[in-house]
Structure 1
Amino acid sequence: MSASGLASTPRPAAPAAGPARVMLVDDSSVSRALMTRWIEENGAGQVVATAANGRAAVEALAVHRVEVVVLDIEMPEVDGLTALPRLLAAQPGLQVLMASTLSQHGASVTLQALRLGAADAIGKPRAGWALGTGNDFRTELAAKVRALGAVARRRPGAPAPEVPTLPPGTPEPTLNRAAPSTQRPRAIVIGASTGGPNALFRLVELLPRDVDVPIFVTQHMPPTFTTILADHLARHGRRPAHEAEDGMPAQPGHVYIAPGGRHLSLAGSPDHVRLIVSDEEPENFCRPSVNPLMRSAARLYGDGALGIMLTGMGSDGLEGARELVRAGGTLVAQDQTSSVVWGMPGSVVRAGLAAEVLPLDDIAAFIGQKLKAAR
């Protein structure tokens, strides 16, 4: 190992094909070794460099062509939050995945990192994962590296990649649009995953101040992270935001976030909504999943439900969105160009469920128009 902390040798640049080129930045050599194996064993990425701290990581970018960095937060000399802007400045377009412990401090720093330009985050289990008990982390790490590798190879201004993509040679399906409801929305339900926190910050900041219906959100995040996400949304969106609690009554104009690791659904009547937080089985390998929220909104609000599908990989929320539209509700999907990954919104567009496909900055205006026009 060199004095800079690098544990790799220079490799020639490779064409933009095959696995993503990855750098791991973590002060634990055991963690680096395990993550290297997990990333490479199924072809998600090729680890071309490792570093023991942020300073060494910045130096490595002068030697290695890297597309995705998995960046730990707590490291000696230069920590992850300090290194992040230096890495992004050294290589524009670099995709950084923050790897954080599942603690309140780790979650708070991770949300700051997302605001500073990190693409996504993953929570490292507190204990046991290095002994082989972190299978969820292992699977999620590979999936996120693969997705962010596709993002890194996207040309500036090009549409977001879809996850999963269509097999080669598959013709593009005809994209139909669902009819929007003519009723005034009585609730807004939002699903998001990769790239979702920053999209949520932007959306909530742009929403009209007089939104008088509850806003429910399922964002794929680990426990603890969603508590901090709600705090950040409250500060930046200038409206009350909460991590959902079981039995909590919904109030107009408030934002409710599904807790990490638990599903959120709605019960009661449109005028007296009660939040249900549960530990039921994951759907689409996700808990929380967007499906329970959208299904329950369809039952409770019918044509008064306004669903928003934001950036995210995979297709979680597709079945719930189908029920929401079948009940007469309106579904809006974030467009491909403004999404980090066009998996979740792309899946509902392909299914013909979206009444509108809009850039992120236009979604808030659409919500305001729907609320104003039907007053």
Structure 2
Amino acid sequence: MTVKVLVVDDSSFFRRRVSEILNAEPTLEVIGAAKDGREAINMVIKLKPDVVTMDVEMPVLDGISAVREIMQKCPTPILMFSSLTHEGAKATLDALDAGALDFIPKKFEDIAKNRDEAIKLLQQRVKAIARRRFLMRRSSVSSNTSTQTPATSARSSKFTSATRPSTRSITRNEASVAPAAPATVVKRSGKSYRIVVIGTSTGGPVALQKVLTELPANFPHPILLIQHMPSTFTAAFAARLDSLCKISVKEAADGDQLHPGCAYLAPGGKQMIVENHSNNRIRIMDVDDPKINYKPCVDITFASVAKAFSDKALAIVLTGMGADGRDGARMLREYGSTVWAQDEQTCVVYGMPQAIAKAGLAQLQLPIDRFAQAIVTEAGHG
């Protein structure tokens, strides 16, 4: 089935360039182009595209305002084009706050080693988030547009989309060897933990904020966060999370001591590992290995946690493209730690969690709205 795309940018050159790239993929079709946010809103309502690519800075109506209005009137998966600057990071996070699902650098040379790779990545991102369209529209209809938008929601759910599906009963992966959890509550297993580690990619900023803002200030363990994100974005993202969460959140720095009730976000372009359980310090490393596709990489952090904490880790894989985290999760399970994954219905992209589930590593699969309470319960604090 062909994915229909609306391209929005005030530059005619960029509109044409993006349209050519997307139309070069047989399963993608650009059905329209808008030069500002107001025109974009009108075209979304009229054409009902499967995906919108959106610039941030435009005349008449900016991209963030356009995203917010589109999500109110005709919820549609939106991919933002962002500049890799501090201001660009803040604007992109505001767009995710407004309801956009994902972002990609506007300068294609910033996202890939060569032009062909960049083209393929853009095409993949558009196809990936297009899968959310049906669920978003169905959820919007079922709620009869009565739910509040992300821009006006409470502090504890600022990034939550107005079209976020309602909470479902807990399910578990059929391949999991763990016993099924009750349909309405997660009971504490009785295991003891020393650390929580969460890996995610596409859709991760929204998912992480949903989980972290619901944790109590006196959460008893440190938390490691691995989010696929450019280096110019992670500091701004950590600062935003810190301003919204009861726990502390910071961009991890080399030598950081792990403390309970603090979350450490892996810096973009680097790898984050834990040295060992005796000193509980973080190491931030430059790893120049062509075999490693992600910086930061969930597999690398998960593997270090397995070695440092053995069976005392609770590892969680949330929404994201690809299979990063699968190998690390396998090592964690071998060491006796616990691995959970996000369910398919509430993922923006059911890639990373699906890889965990298919490998039989997910002991529990949960909708995003259930993770925070489940973590608190399993960690022995609720």
Instruction: Please say whether Structure 1 and Structure 2 have the same fold, judged by a TM-score greater than 0.5.
Output: yes
Residue 148 of structure 1: aligned partner: 129
Compared with structure 1, are the counterparts of its residues 252 and 373 closer, same or farther at alpha carbon in structure 2 (3 Å cutoff)?
Answer: closer
How far does the alpha carbon of each residue in 1:177-223 deviate from its partner, in whole angstroms, 9 at most, with x for none? 35898531111110111111111111001113221221111111122
Q: CA deviation at 1:128?
A: 5.6
Flag structure 2 segments of 5+ consecutive residues without an equivalent: 140-172, 180-187
The within-5 A match list for 1:314-329 is 314-329=322-337
The within-5 A match list for 1:290-369 is 290-369=298-377
In structure 1, give the amino acid aligned to 2:196. Answer: I
Residue 241 of structure 1: aligned partner: 249
In structure 1, give the amino acid aligned to 2:17. Answer: L
Q: CA deviation at 1:340?
A: 1.9
Whether the 8 Å contact between 2:176 and 2:364 is mirrored in structure 1 is: no
Residue 35 of structure 1: aligned partner: 18
Whether the 8 Å contact between 2:253 and 2:282 is mirrored in structure 1 is: no
Residue 66 (str. 1) matches residue 44 (str. 2): no
Whether the 8 Å contact between 1:20 and 1:150 is mirrored in structure 2 is: no
Whether the 8 Å contact between 2:189 and 2:378 is mirrored in structure 1 is: no
Flag structure 1 segments of 5+ consecutive residues without an equivalent: 1-17, 158-172
In structure 1, give the amino acid aligned to 2:96. Answer: L
In structure 2, give the amino acid aligned to 1:340. Answer: V
The within-5 A match list for 1:221-236 is 221-236=229-244
CA distance in 1, matches of 2:278, 2:123: 41
Whether the 8 Å contact between 1:244 and 1:277 is mirrored in structure 2 is: no
Of 217-226 and 289-298, the range deviating more from structure 2: 217-226
One of 2, 26, 33 as aligned partner of 2:9: 26
Secondary structure at the aligned position of 1:88 is classed as: helix
Residue 184 (str. 1) matches residue 192 (str. 2): yes
Secondary structure at the aligned position of 1:58 is classed as: helix
Secondary structure at the aligned position of 1:23 is classed as: strand
Residue 259 of structure 1: aligned partner: 267
Secondary structure at the aligned position of 1:97 is classed as: strand
How far does the alpha carbon of each residue in 1:110-168 deviate from its partner, in whole angstroms, 9 at most, with x for none? 1111111111111223x8679x95555433321110011121134736xxxxxxxxxxx
Q: CA deviation at 1:35?
A: 1.5
Q: CA deviation at 1:24?
A: 0.9
Secondary structure at the aligned position of 2:341 is classed as: strand
CA distance in 1, matches of 2:285, 2:189: 28
Whether the 8 Å contact between 1:181 and 1:303 is mirrored in structure 2 is: no
Residue 99 of structure 1: aligned partner: 81
Compared with structure 1, are the counterparts of its residues 373 and 112 closer, same or farther at alpha carbon in structure 2 (3 Å cutoff)?
Answer: closer
Residue 45 (str. 1) matches residue 53 (str. 2): no
CA distance in 2, matches of 1:329, 1:318: 14
In structure 2, give the amino acid aligned to 1:104. Answer: H
Q: CA deviation at 1:80?
A: 0.6
CA distance in 1, matches of 2:225, 2:117: 23
Compared with structure 1, are the counterparts of its residues 368 and 62 closer, same or farther at alpha carbon in structure 2 (3 Å cutoff)?
Answer: closer
CA distance in 1, matches of 2:287, 2:26: 32
Residue 85 (str. 1) matches residue 85 (str. 2): no
Residue 56 (str. 1) matches residue 39 (str. 2): yes
In structure 1, give the amino acid aligned to 2:377. Answer: Q
Residue 111 (str. 1) matches residue 111 (str. 2): no
In structure 1, give the amino acid aligned to 2:33. Answer: T
What TM-score do the two structures reach when normalised by structure 1? 0.83
The within-5 A match list for 1:266-277 is 266-277=274-285
CA distance in 2, matches of 1:367, 1:283: 33
Residue 199 of structure 1: aligned partner: 207
Of 49-58 and 282-291, the range deviating more from structure 2: 282-291
Secondary structure at the aligned position of 2:329 is classed as: helix
Q: CA deviation at 1:353?
A: 0.7
Residue 12 of structure 1: aligned partner: none
Whether the 8 Å contact between 1:189 and 1:305 is mirrored in structure 2 is: yes
In structure 2, give the amino acid aligned to 1:122. Answer: I
Secondary structure at the aligned position of 1:247 is classed as: coil
Aligned residues: 340
The within-5 A match list for 1:128-143 is 137-143=118-124
Whether the 8 Å contact between 1:25 and 1:54 is mirrored in structure 2 is: yes
Identical aligned residues as a percent: 35
What TM-score do the two structures reach when normalised by structure 2? 0.82
CA distance in 1, matches of 2:318, 2:53: 23
Aligned-residue CA RMSD (Å): 2.6
How far does the alpha carbon of each residue in 1:91-127 deviate from its partner, in whole angstroms, 9 at most, with x for none? 12x00111110011111111111111111111223x8
CA distance in 2, matches of 1:143, 1:128: 16
Of 148-157 and 319-328, the range deviating more from structure 2: 148-157
CA distance in 1, matches of 2:368, 2:131: 20
Compared with structure 1, are the counterparts of its residues 181 and 350 closer, same or farther at alpha carbon in structure 2 (3 Å cutoff)?
Answer: farther
Q: CA deviation at 1:333?
A: 0.9
How far does the alpha carbon of each residue in 1:8-42 deviate from its partner, in whole angstroms, 9 at most, with x for none? xxxxxxxxxx2311111112222222222222223
How far does the alpha carbon of each residue in 1:67-93 deviate from its partner, in whole angstroms, 9 at most, with x for none? 10110101122211121112223312x
Whether the 8 Å contact between 1:249 and 1:272 is mirrored in structure 2 is: yes
CA distance in 2, matches of 1:217, 1:373: 20
Whether the 8 Å contact between 2:8 and 2:34 is mirrored in structure 1 is: yes
Secondary structure at the aligned position of 1:336 is classed as: coil
